[in-house]
Chain A
Amino acid sequence: MSSKTEHKRRKLYKSRIIRTELQDPSFKDERLNVEEFLKSREFEVNQLQMAQLKSKKNSSTRCFQSLPRSMRRRTASHNIKRVPRRLRPRMIREMTSNNGSILSKKPKHSRGRELYKLKRLHRLLKLATVAKSKGKPLDLPTGIDLKEKLRIVRSHIAELQNAKDAEVQTYDNMHLKFIKLHQQSLNNKLGSMDNTAVNELAVFKPHALKYSNRQKKFKWLPTHVWHAKRAHMVKRWGFNIALQPSQKCYRATHRNYLHSHCIAWDTSYIGTIILHHSTSLTPLIHLVGQLTKNEAVKPKFLKNHKIWEGIIYHENNSIGQSQIIWQDLPNVKQCILRVHPSLYESFFKLLLKLSPKDVTVFDCRYSLASFQVTGPAALTALGAVMKTADNNENWKQLCSFRDNSMVPTGSSISFYINDPRYLNKPHKYHHNIREDELDLIIAIKEGKVFDSGSFEDLFTYQGRIKSYKNQPSLKDLDLRRNIIVNNDNVDNLGKTLPRNPDDPLVPIHLSKLENGYYQVIVPWYWNLPVWYKLMRFPEVRYGGLRQMHQLNLETNRPTYPFDYPFWYHGFLSSFIQGQEFQKKWELRPKGKRLNYSKLKIHNLPGELLGELGDPFVSDWRYLQVLQYALKVHKECVHLDPSSFDVSNWTTLGHRCLKQLQDVYECVRDVQRQDSEFENADEEKILPIPVKYKGEYQFDPTKIDKVSVVIRDEIPKLPVTLISVEIEGTGHIATNARLYQVPSHDWQSWLENNDQKPVRAKYLVGFITTGTINLATGKHTGIGCMSHEVNQLLNKEKHHHLLLRNVGEVTFRLVKFQDIPL
C-alpha cells in the first residue's frame, strides 16, 4: 500500500474515533470526586461534538464539498472562480497537490485551413450582425459551404439597403410606417427593437441569430439562456418556460415566500394586447364592457390606475382570465389587456373581429416583457435594482416595506428607472424618512404617486423606441467604468456609474396583483439587464411554473390552466399530464405495476371491479355520463316495471336502465363508443364534458317508458371549484376521486370515522391539484365537484366529502370549501 493511501486511511480512522475516559480518575478509594467527575464528562461531551464535526470535514476531500447546497456549482471541481473567495487558497492547494497542476495546458490555436475557415466564420457572423441591425435577420439554408453563405449574406444586406425606402412607403397605416422605419434602421448598437404589430399577430424575431433555428416552434424568453443553465425548462404554449429550479426547493420556496427573502419569475410569456383610439375611451369601454360583463369598466378601474383582474366572456361563456389596465391620459386613450399565452392568439383574433374600425389593436407580445416578485423582501429587492432617474422619495420609502398585505391590491405605480447596468451590484436604499407610511399607502391608492409620462412611454411604441435609443453595450459601460477608476482614484472601484445625458431612461410599470405578487412590466429588451441585476441581490430566489403552482395551493388559489377543467386549455393540460403518467406506468414491468382494472374498490354486491374511469386523469367524461345515467335511472324507477320490455334492450338497440348495474353497464357502453370514435379519427377530440356552474339541461318529461342514454345527447355537467383539506391522517394526490358521503352512513363516517364501503354511484368530482401544504401542515387539494351536489350539501350545511386516491381502496374524510371563480 502506498504511503498516500495509508495516510488517508489513518486520517479517516482517526476521525471516526471518539475519545473517552474509561478509567475514571474521579472514583478513588470508593469515593466519587464530583468535580473531577463532571470535568471528565464535559470532556467527553466536547469530544463527541468534535467527532461529529471532524467526521464531516474529513469525509469531504475537496473544499467545495463542505459548502451548503445552494452554493455548490457543477464546475467547482476545476474552475476556481466557482468557489467563494475565502476558500480559493485552499482550493489551489488541493488542486496542485492532487496530481497535476492547477493550470491546464494552453489551448493550441488553429492553423492552416482550419484557421482560414474560422476567420471566414467570424466574418460571416459580423455580416449577419449587420443584417440583424437592419432589422432583418437572415435564415441561412443548411448544407452549403461558408463561401456561399458569405455571398448570400452580402447580397441580402445590399438588397435591404435598396429596398428600405421603397418598402416603407407602401404602408398606409401611420403606426405601421413608424414601427417599420424604426426596425429598418435601429437606434442602438445592441439590436434592440420594438417588435409591435398593428392589427395583426406579431412575428417573433429572435435576438441572437445564432439560435434562431431552435426557436421556430417554441420561442425563448429574454432570460432563456440564464434560466436554461439553472432550471428545468418545459415547452408550453409556444414558449420555453422554466418549470422548476434544478435544485430541490419545495420547503425553501415556502420559507422564502412566508418569512424572509423573495421569489422572482420571468413571466414574459404573458401576452399584452393594446387597444388604441385616437380621441376617446368610449368605444373601448363599450368593447371591453361587452367582454367582461361590465365588470372591468366600473369607475374605480377607470381612474386611479387600478388594475382589473377577472374572467373574460364571449357570448355568455367564460373563456379565460385577463388583466386590464386603463390608460386615460390627455394624449393617449388606450386599454391594455394581458392574457395567458394559451389563450392569446384566439383572443387576439376575437378582439380584431369585435373592435370597430377606428380602434387600432397592437400586438405587444414580443415588445413588452414582465416579471413577478413575491415575498417579504420583494420591494426591497426591486428597489435595490430599479433606481429611479430622479430623486423619488416615495419609491425609496415604498422599498422599505416588508409587509406585502399593506400595499392595496390592484394599485400600480409607474416611473423611469436608470439603466440597471450602471450598478456594480444591487444595493438597498438606505431610507430614514420619519413620515407616516400609511400616508404613502393612501397616496398610492388614490393614484397620486404616479408618473404619467413613463406610463405613456411604456405602452406606446414611440416611447419604447425612445427607451432603446443609444442603449449602451456592456463594453461601453466597462470602458466608462475604467475611465472613472483610472482618472480619479481607485476608491471609485465598484461604484455606480453616473448617467450620461445621451443614455436612455427605462419606463416601468409596477402593480400589485390579487395573489399578492408584484408585477413589473418593462420594454422587452430591458428585461434581461434588470433580471441579471435582480438575481445578484442576496435575498432573491428564482422560481418556475411549479413554484407558482405550489404557492397557489398554499393560499388556496386555483392555478391556470391546470385547475380549470371546464376551459379548453385546462381540460387539455390534464389530458397531456395523463398521457405522461400512462407512459411512465407502461414502462414498468407487468409484475411491478398496479393493475388498475382488478382493484376491489367498491366492495359491495353488484359493484364493478377496477378504477373508476381512466386511472391517469381526472376522468370528467366518466363523471358526466355516470351522473346523467343515474338521473335517467332515477326517473325510470318511478315508472311501472310492467311497462318495460322483458329484455334489457330497446328495439333501437339501446340499453334500458332498470337497475344500478345497468347504469354501470351503460357508462361502459359510452366509454366503448368514445374509444371507437377516437380511434376512427385521431385528431378528433371529444368536446369538454363539464362547464362552470349554469343550468343542467336535463328534461325529465322526455324520459318516457323506456329510459335510454344516447351518447350524443348527454348534456354538459355543471361543476364548481372547491378546495379540500384532509381530516385526520392520509394524503391527497392529483386525480383523486371525490365521493359524496352516503346519507345512511353519515353518522358512522363523521362521528366514529368507520370505514364503510361506498358505492361508485356517489362519485361527485375529482382533485386536480393535491399534495402536502406547508402552510397548513396538512394535505390539501383543489378540484371540482358537481354543482348540483355542491348546492345540496351547502343547503344542508354539510361540508364533508370522501376522498380516494387513484389505485387505493381507502376512503378518507375531507372538508371542502367553495372557491369563487
Chain B
Amino acid sequence: MKRERIDGTLIKHPPMRKYKVTEEKNTFFVKSSTLYVSAIKQISKKVEKLNATQAKNKVFIVKGMGKSIPKVLSIGVYFQLKNYRVEVFTGSVKVLDEFEKEDDDSILSKRTVSSVEVRIIL
C-alpha cells in the first residue's frame, strides 16, 4: 500500500530499545554504517566474554534491519564457518517517522521495516 505524502523535513527515529542489563552482554545491533570487520571483532570479543560466564543458555544475538540485513547475515555466515551453530529469524520492527515543520507541531507516522536476528548458539 502506498503511503500518503506528508510535508516537512523527515527525521527517522530508531526502534524502541529495552535497555536491560542482559541486553548489553548478549546483543549486538548492526547499523548500515557499521563496518563489517569492526562488527566481527566486537562480536567475537563479546562472545568470548559470554562464553566465560556460567549462564545456562548461552546465546548471542545479532540484530539488524533494513539496509543492514545482508551485513547481519554475512556476520552469521562468518560465525557458522567458525563452527558455531547459527539460527536465523526474520521479522519486522515498527519505527516512527517525524515530519518537522517550521511553526506547527511535527507529525509522527508509523512504518514497518523488515528485520533479521541471527542467534549464535554457544
* A residues in contact (CB < 8 Å) with B: 259-260, 298-300, 303-304, 306, 376, 401-403, 405-406, 408, 436-439, 441-442, 445
Kindly supply a per-residue 1/0 record for chain B positions 21-58, scoring 1 wherever the CB is within 8 Å of any chain A CB and 0 otherwise: 10010000000000000000000000000000000000
Q: Which B-chain residue is minimally distant from A404 (CB atoms)? A: B19
Partner of B108, one of A260, A298, A299, A442: A442
Q: Jot down 30 A-B pairs with beta carbons below 8 A, ordered by A.
A: A259-B19, A259-B21, A259-B24, A260-B21, A298-B103, A299-B103, A300-B101, A300-B103, A300-B104, A300-B105, A304-B105, A306-B105, A376-B19, A402-B17, A402-B19, A402-B20, A403-B16, A403-B18, A405-B13, A406-B13, A406-B16, A408-B98, A436-B94, A437-B16, A438-B108, A439-B110, A442-B96, A442-B109, A445-B105, A445-B106
The CA-CA distance from A474 to B42 in the complex, in Å, is 54
Check B14 for interface membership: any CB of A closer than 8 A: yes
Instruction: Please name all residues of chain B whose beta carbon is closer than 8 Å to the beta carbon of A445 when the two chains form the complex.
Output: 105-106, 108
The CA-CA distance from A300 to B24 in the complex, in Å, is 37
Instruction: Please name all residues of chain B whose beta carbon is closer than 8 Å to the beta carbon of A405 when the two chains form the complex.
Output: 13-14
Q: Which of B54-76 contact A (CB under 8 A)?
A: none
Instruction: Please name all residues of chain B whose beta carbon is closer than 8 Å to the beta carbon of A306 when the two chains form the complex.
Output: 105
Instruction: Please name all residues of chain B whose beta carbon is closer than 8 Å to the beta carbon of A441 when the two chains form the complex.
Output: 96, 108
The CA-CA distance from A438 to B108 in the complex, in Å, is 9
The CA-CA distance from A406 to B20 in the complex, in Å, is 16
Known contacts being A259-B24, A299-B105, A300-B105, is A438 close to B17, with CB within 8 Å?
no
Most A CB within 10 A of own CB, among B18, B19, B96, B110: B19
On whether the beta carbons of A408 and B24 are closer than 8 Å, the reply is no
Q: Which of B95-118 contact A (CB under 8 A)?
A: 96, 98, 101, 103-106, 108-110
Starting from the known contacts A260-B19, A299-B103, A441-B108, 5 additional A-B residue pairs (CB-CB under 8 Å) come to A259-B24, A403-B16, A403-B19, A406-B13, A445-B108
Q: Which B-chain residue is minimally distant from A259 (CB atoms)? A: B24
Instruction: Please name all residues of chain B whose beta carbon is closer than 8 Å to the beta carbon of A401 when the two chains form the complex.
Output: 16
On whether the beta carbons of B16 and A303 are closer than 8 Å, the reply is no
Q: Which B-chain residue is minimally distant from A442 (CB atoms)? A: B108
Instruction: Please name all residues of chain A whose beta carbon is closer than 8 Å to the beta carbon of B19 when the two chains form the complex.
Output: 259-260, 376, 402-403
The CA-CA distance from A304 to B108 in the complex, in Å, is 14
On whether the beta carbons of B17 and A403 are closer than 8 Å, the reply is yes
Instruction: Please name all residues of chain A whose beta carbon is closer than 8 Å to the beta carbon of B104 when the two chains form the complex.
Output: 298-300
The CA-CA distance from A303 to B16 in the complex, in Å, is 26
Interface of A is mostly: loop
The CA-CA distance from A698 to B108 in the complex, in Å, is 48
The CA-CA distance from A259 to B18 in the complex, in Å, is 10
The CA-CA distance from A405 to B19 in the complex, in Å, is 12
The CA-CA distance from A298 to B21 in the complex, in Å, is 41
The 5 closest A-B pairs by CB, nearest first: A376-B19, A300-B105, A402-B19, A403-B17, A298-B103
In the complex, how many angstroms separate the beta carbon of A467 from the nearest chain B beta carbon?
30
In the complex, how many angstroms separate the beta carbon of B18 from the nearest chain A beta carbon?
6
In the complex, how many angstroms separate the beta carbon of A303 from the nearest chain B beta carbon?
7
Known contacts being A259-B24, A402-B17, A402-B20, is A408 close to B103, with CB within 8 Å?
no
On whether the beta carbons of B21 and A438 are closer than 8 Å, the reply is no
In the complex, how many angstroms separate the beta carbon of A293 from the nearest chain B beta carbon?
14
Known contacts being A259-B19, A406-B16, A437-B16, is A442 close to B103, with CB within 8 Å?
no
On whether the beta carbons of B110 and A402 are closer than 8 Å, the reply is no
Instruction: Please name all residues of chain A whose beta carbon is closer than 8 Å to the beta carbon of B103 when the two chains form the complex.
Output: 298-300
The CA-CA distance from A260 to B17 in the complex, in Å, is 12
On whether the beta carbons of A303 and B105 are closer than 8 Å, the reply is yes
The CA-CA distance from A439 to B19 in the complex, in Å, is 21
Q: Which B-chain residue is minimally distant from A258 (CB atoms)? A: B19
Known contacts being A298-B103, A299-B103, is A402 close to B108, with CB within 8 Å?
no
On whether the beta carbons of B108 and A408 are closer than 8 Å, the reply is yes
Instruction: Please name all residues of chain A whose beta carbon is closer than 8 Å to the beta carbon of B110 when the two chains form the complex.
Output: 436, 438-439, 442
Instruction: Please name all residues of chain A whose beta carbon is closer than 8 Å to the beta carbon of B96 when the two chains form the complex.
Output: 406, 438, 441-442
Instruction: Please name all residues of chain B whose beta carbon is closer than 8 Å to the beta carbon of A259 when the two chains form the complex.
Output: 19, 21, 24
The CA-CA distance from A52 to B94 in the complex, in Å, is 50
The CA-CA distance from A592 to B58 in the complex, in Å, is 57
The CA-CA distance from A406 to B18 in the complex, in Å, is 11
The CA-CA distance from A420 to B20 in the complex, in Å, is 27
In the complex, how many angstroms separate the beta carbon of A407 from the nearest chain B beta carbon?
10
Instruction: Please name all residues of chain A whose beta carbon is closer than 8 Å to the beta carbon of B94 when the two chains form the complex.
Output: 436, 438
In the complex, how many angstroms separate the beta carbon of A301 from the nearest chain B beta carbon?
8
Q: Which B-chain residue is minimally distant from A304 (CB atoms)? A: B105
The CA-CA distance from A376 to B20 in the complex, in Å, is 9
The CA-CA distance from A304 to B16 in the complex, in Å, is 23
In the complex, how many angstroms separate the beta carbon of B32 from the nearest chain A beta carbon?
18
Q: Which B-chain residue is minimally distant from A298 (CB atoms)? A: B103
Instruction: Please name all residues of chain A whose beta carbon is closer than 8 Å to the beta carbon of B101 when the two chains form the complex.
Output: 300
In the complex, how many angstroms separate the beta carbon of B107 from the nearest chain A beta carbon?
9
The CA-CA distance from A401 to B15 in the complex, in Å, is 12
In the complex, how many angstroms separate the beta carbon of A173 from the nearest chain B beta carbon?
37
The CA-CA distance from A306 to B20 in the complex, in Å, is 30
Instruction: Please name all residues of chain A whose beta carbon is closer than 8 Å to the beta carbon of B18 when the two chains form the complex.
Output: 402-403
In the complex, how many angstroms separate the beta carbon of B10 from the nearest chain A beta carbon?
15
Instruction: Please name all residues of chain A whose beta carbon is closer than 8 Å to the beta carbon of B24 when the two chains form the complex.
Output: 259
In the complex, how many angstroms separate the beta carbon of A447 from the nearest chain B beta carbon?
9
Instruction: Please name all residues of chain A whose beta carbon is closer than 8 Å to the beta carbon of B106 when the two chains form the complex.
Output: 300, 445
The CA-CA distance from A445 to B100 in the complex, in Å, is 13
The CA-CA distance from A437 to B95 in the complex, in Å, is 10
In the complex, how many angstroms separate the beta carbon of B101 from the nearest chain A beta carbon?
8
The CA-CA distance from A298 to B106 in the complex, in Å, is 12
The CA-CA distance from A402 to B101 in the complex, in Å, is 28
In the complex, how many angstroms separate the beta carbon of A305 from the nearest chain B beta carbon?
11
The CA-CA distance from A304 to B98 in the complex, in Å, is 16
Instruction: Please name all residues of chain B whose beta carbon is closer than 8 Å to the beta carbon of A304 when the two chains form the complex.
Output: 105
In the complex, how many angstroms separate the beta carbon of A391 from the nearest chain B beta carbon?
24
The CA-CA distance from A405 to B96 in the complex, in Å, is 12
The CA-CA distance from A401 to B20 in the complex, in Å, is 11
The CA-CA distance from A403 to B20 in the complex, in Å, is 10
Instruction: Please name all residues of chain B whose beta carbon is closer than 8 Å to the beta carbon of A298 when the two chains form the complex.
Output: 103-104
In the complex, how many angstroms separate the beta carbon of B31 from the nearest chain A beta carbon?
15
In the complex, how many angstroms separate the beta carbon of B72 from the nearest chain A beta carbon?
21
Instruction: Please name all residues of chain A whose beta carbon is closer than 8 Å to the beta carbon of B17 when the two chains form the complex.
Output: 402-403
Q: Which B-chain residue is minimally distant from A302 (CB atoms)? A: B105
Q: Which A-chain residue is minimally distant from B103 (CB atoms)? A: A298
